[in-house]
Structure formats: structure tokens, C-alpha cells
């Protein structure tokens, strides 16, 4: 193996997919997202490993199920010269403080996205994760994790309605995602409005104590939610690959 000194790989293992990147000049580059369900997952990872300069260090942030994380573990370079770090959420790092009684129980993805947003804003911020679950976290001006919520994503809301109700029986196209009938429109509007309303409430709840902190969305459906919120004139920013950016910053944490 041709291991390059100083070359670092960053891995963000989520519930629905894995993201991989290289760290160059302090930032994640060559970001590649792989769905856990795609049949060529292992082949794609091996292709990346062969194409990228081999690392001396790999940082992994994982909230994936253990069997999925083990798949990745088995595909990583097996070389004594490569340091592989599976991160646990710390009490404090990179200017962000974790107030959980057991700090490791705060998801590492949530912590790293807060690190990334705080580095971007230099102060308070609201961080909304838009993945399999919807996470909402508030970071105070001094870097303390002020509040956090976890809810269903719009996609999971739709799935719950499909499974737990008889809507699909009477409206077979309602959950297709491209239906134009009234039930399909009502389902989409209801689930996206629920997500948007939660973001607006969370921002309003912390408006006074965080001084109107900016709202940043990240994750697979962040752009869609941003568009939905924009219809009401609610200002948000989309921070692509926030967890990977947090990982890149964490590399320099002692």
C-alpha cells in the first residue's frame, strides 16, 4: 500500500447512506455518497480506496446500525500504518460543549454538525438535520449545546401513514410521490408542513435567548425543506455535508 503521510479520509455513516471524503486544506473534498441498499456498495468503496491516495488516518463518525458499520469496517484499509478512529461524542471539542449527562449519547453526527455551524457563524446557531430522522439542535453564543429535539422526517411520516392507515387501499397512487390527486397533495403538504412548522417553532422558542440565531439545514432533504420554508419567507441556509465539515475540523482536536 502506498500510504501518503498526512492524507486523511473522512467517513460519515448515517442511517440511510454512507458519505466518504478526503480532507484537503482542512476541508472535505471528493465527497461520495453511497446508499446502504445499493448492490454495488462494496465495489464502489473498493474503487474509491484504489483511486484515492492511501491515508495515514481515517476518521469515522457513525450512527448507523452495527451491521452496517461492520460492513464498512471490513472494507477499510487493513494496514498497521493507517490509524482508524471511530469517534465517540466528547464532552467538549472545537468550541462546542455537550451538556448530556452521558456525553456519548448525543449523536456524533449532531455534535459534528454543531461544530461545523459554530465554525461558520462564530456564534449562536440552530442546526437542523434532515436525514432519516429530523434533528434540531441549538448552540449558544458561547458554544454550549442549549437544546435538542429528534422527530420523524417527512419521508418517515409518509411511510408511517402508508403502513398504519388504509389510505393506500383507497388511494393506490397517493404514496407514489408524483401523484396529482387530492390525497397525494394533502399527504405531501401535511408532512412537509409538519416538518416546517417544527423548525419555525424551534426557532421562535429560542429567538430571545439566542438572539435571532441563524438557522442552518443539512442532510439529504434539506434543500426541499428550505424551499418549503421559503414559501413563507422563513430565512434558512443549507449547509452541504455539515457532518463531514465537522469531521474535518475535529481532525485538529487534540
Lowest mean pLDDT among 44-48, 98-102, 164-168, 242-246: 164-168
Q: Are 135 and 107 in contact (CB under 8 A)?
A: yes
Which of 73-82, 103-112, 187-196 has the highest average model confidence (pLDDT)?
103-112
Selection from 75, 15, 36, 94 nearest residue 254 by Cα: 94
The SS3 of residue 135 is strand
Helix (H) or strand (E) holding 228: helix 222-230
Selection from 155, 136, 156, 154 nearest residue 146 by Cα: 136
Instruction: Give the per-residue pLDDT at 236.
Output: 93
- Within 10 angstroms of residue 228's Cβ, the number of other Cβ atoms is 20
Chain-wide mean pLDDT for the chain?
Answer: 90
The pLDDT tens digits for 46-68 are 999 899 999 999 999 999 999 99
Q: Which is more confident, 106 or 177?
A: 106
| Nine-digit cell string for 108 | 456524533
Most distant pair of Cα atoms in the chain: their distance: 61
Question: CATH: 2.60.40.10, 3.30.420.40, 3.40.920.10, 1.10.1060.10. Which one for 94-247?
Answer: 3.30.420.40
Instruction: Give the per-residue pLDDT at 1.
Output: 44
Interval 19-44 mean pLDDT: 96
What distance in Å separates the CA atoms of residue 33 and residue 109, rounded to the nearest whole number? 15
* Active site amino acids: 109
Instruction: Give the per-residue pLDDT at 244.
Output: 98
What distance in Å separates the CA atoms of residue 29 and residue 59, rounded to the nearest whole number? 14
Q: Dump the DSSP string for 42-88.
A: HHHHHHHHHHSPBPSEEEEEE-S-HHHHHHHHHHS---TTSEEEE--
Domain ranges of the chain: 8-86, 94-247
- Tell me which residue has cell 455535508: 241
The CATH number given to 8-86 is 3.30.420.40
The pLDDT tens digits for 117-169 are 999 999 999 999 999 899 999 999 999 998 899 999 988 888 888 888 888 77
Instruction: Give the per-residue pLDDT at 171.
Output: 77
- Within 10 angstroms of residue 15's Cβ, the number of other Cβ atoms is 14
What distance in Å separates the CA atoms of residue 188 and residue 182, rounded to the nearest whole number? 10
Selection from 151, 202, 157 nearest residue 175 by Cα: 157
pLDDT band at 4 (very low <50, low <70, confident <90, very high): low
Instruction: Give the per-residue pLDDT at 182.
Output: 81
Q: Which is more confident, 55 or 253?
A: 55
8-86 and 94-247: same fold? Answer: yes
Amino acid at each position: 500500500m502506498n500510504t501518503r503521510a498526512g492524507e486523511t479520509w473522512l467517513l460519515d455513516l448515517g442511517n440511510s447512506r454512507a458519505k466518504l471524503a478526503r480532507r484537503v486544506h482542512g476541508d472535505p473534498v471528493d465527497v461520495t455518497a453511497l446508499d446502504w441498499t445499493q448492490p454495488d456498495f462494496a465495489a464502489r468503496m473498493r474503487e474509491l480506496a484504489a483511486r484515492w491516495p492511501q491515508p495515514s488516518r481515517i476518521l469515522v463518525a457513525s450512527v448507523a446500525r452495527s451491521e452496517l458499520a461492520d460492513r464498512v469496517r471490513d472494507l477499510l484499509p487493513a494496514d498497521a500504518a493507517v490509524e482508524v478512529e471511530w469517534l465517540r461524542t466528547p464532552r467538549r471539542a472545537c468550541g462546542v460543549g455537550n451538556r448530556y449527562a452521558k456525553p456519548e449519547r448525543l449523536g456524533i453526527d449532531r455534535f459534528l454538525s454543531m461544530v461545523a455551524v459554530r465554525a461558520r457563524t462564530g456564534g449562536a446557531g440552530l442546526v437542523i438535520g434532515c436525514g432519516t430522522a429530523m434533528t434540531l439542535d441549538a448552540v449558544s453564543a458561547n458554544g454550549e449545546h442549549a437544546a435538542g429535539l429528534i422527530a420523524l422526517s417527512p419521508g418517515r411520516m409518509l411511510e408511517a401513514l402508508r403502513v398504519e392507515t388504509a389510505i393506500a387501499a383507497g388511494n393506490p397512487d397517493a404514496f407514489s410521490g408524483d401523484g396529482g390527486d387530492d390525497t397525494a397533495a394533502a399527504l405531501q403538504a401535511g408532512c412537509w408542513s409538519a416538518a416546517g412548522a417544527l423548525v419555525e417553532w424551534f426557532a421562535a422558542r429560542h429567538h430571545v435567548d439566542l438572539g435571532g440565531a441563524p438557522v442552518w439545514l443539512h442532510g439529504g432533504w434539506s434543500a426541499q425543506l428550505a424551499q418549503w420554508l421559503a414559501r413563507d419567507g422563513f430565512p434558512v441556509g443549507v449547509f452541504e455535508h455539515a457532518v463531514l465539515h465537522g469531521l474535518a475540523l475535529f481532525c485538529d482536536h487534540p
